[in-house]
Amino acid sequence: MSIIESYQNSIKRRRETITRLLNEKARESTKIANASKKIDSARSAISRTNNQTTIKNRLRDIERAEKDKSESYKKIASIDGKISKLEKEIANDEKRLNQEQMREQRRQLKKDADLQRKTQRQIDSVNRTLQLHENVQSNMQDQIEALKRLPEKITVLFLAANPKNTNSLRLDEEAREIQERIRKSEYRDTITFESRWAVRTGDIIEVINEVKPDIIHFSGHGNEYGDLVFENEYGASKTVTKEAMALTISTVSDKVRFMFFNACFSAEQAESIVEYIDAAIGMTDSIGDSAAVAFAAQFYSSIGYGKSIKTAFDQARANLMLEGINEEDTPELYVKLGLSADDIYLVRPEGIESSEEDKAIIEELLR
């Protein structure tokens, strides 16, 4: 079931519940009307008699009817409260549904544009091959070998910072959960996980040069201005702007393909960094510890099963919904202009062969 269908079903269920509650409210209103009639009837009977027994019985009838009315009014108040809550939940679901539909529309438009670009690239490739006939066989052989070549191991660099003057985060749990999910994945042997803790701003370039990662994962705090929070030499907060991070990554972008900013308000960092790397994930708002851990763990698990970045991102969002964590709209995926997240794989199955389509294209070009 898609995320859109999930929202639609949720709205439908809540509306059905409201209908049921309105029926209950109508029944209680009928009870109130009936009780009022009994009270009027009893009072009329009292006014027409001097018989003390009759008066006493009618007074008891009035007392019971008033009690029934009071109970019905309480039930109606409770029902109104439930309906109000459900209407708010429906409004929230409709907002998220609209956001998801718009996101899906943007994805479809981007996919259409990517298809056009892909077709044009194929045409350009044929034209270049015709113009450079002498080098065709050598170039095609290189392409065949590239398709058959096993993937090199990738390295994930986990950078953690939780300065003394900031709220404590479950960064160790996040790192442990990511490692555990990678370990259980199908292509775990292709992924190396390196972690660095209490990272200072002066450590960033040095550790990237040392580890030479394919993926950089930052876990920690971010502020509402889009800055990341690292540590200074005293363990206190020191912010890094998106401009500073982008400039830093531009010097190592030949190796780094992907960045994961698991910090509040980090979407601006992710959006600016894709000028230099294939893709990045950032948070459009604040994100809770549980959401950060659940989202990151599932993302790397999916990557470890050879999924594309797009599929891994969607599965991580779906995992938040499965866990009942209503923060699936907080993460955002950004991709370098001209690339498609559906086509970006960080881990590929070992021993993959050329697809039939790839073979047909190569054979045609080699003629």
- Indicate whether 113 belongs to any domain: yes
* 51-74 residue pLDDT tens: 888 889 989 989 998 999 899 999
Q: Are 25 and 11 contained in the same domain? A: yes
Q: What is the pLDDT of residue 252?
A: 80
For residue 218, give the nearest of 245, 244, 187, 191 by alpha carbon: 245
Q: Are 75 and 126 contained in the same domain? A: no
Q: What is the pLDDT of residue 347?
A: 87
Q: What is the pLDDT of residue 149?
A: 41
Taking residues 13-40, report their average pLDDT.
92
- Indicate whether 115 belongs to any domain: yes
Lowest mean pLDDT among 57-61, 213-217, 289-293: 57-61
Q: Are 125 and 158 contained in the same domain? A: no
Which residues, at least 6 apart from 228, have a Cβ–Cβ distance to it below 8 Å? Answer: 161, 218, 220, 221, 222, 239, 240, 245, 261, 263, 266, 269
Q: Supply φ then ψ for residue 24, to 5 degrees.
A: -65, -40
Q: Are 141 and 156 contained in the same domain? A: no
Q: Are 14 and 96 contained in the same domain? A: yes
Let me know: does 280 contact 258? Beta carbons within 8 Å. yes
Q: Are 96 and 110 contained in the same domain? A: no
| Conformation bin of residue 338: beta by default, left when phi > 0, alpha when psi is -120 to 50 | left
Q: What is the pLDDT of residue 141?
A: 54
Q: Are 77 and 195 contained in the same domain? A: no
Count the domains in the chain.
3
Q: What is the pLDDT of residue 126?
A: 81
Taking residues 306-319, report their average pLDDT.
96
Q: What is the pLDDT of residue 354?
A: 42
Q: Are 205 and 323 contained in the same domain? A: yes
Which residues, at least 6 apart from 24, have a Cβ–Cβ distance to it below 8 Å? Answer: 75, 79
What CATH number is given to the structural domain containing 254?
3.40.50.1460
Tokens of 137: 């066989």
Q: Are 321 and 249 contained in the same domain? A: yes
DSSP 151: P
Domain that includes residue 193, residue range: 152-343
* 137-194 residue pLDDT tens: 554 554 344 334 434 689 999 999 999 999 999 999 999 999 999 999 999 999 999 9
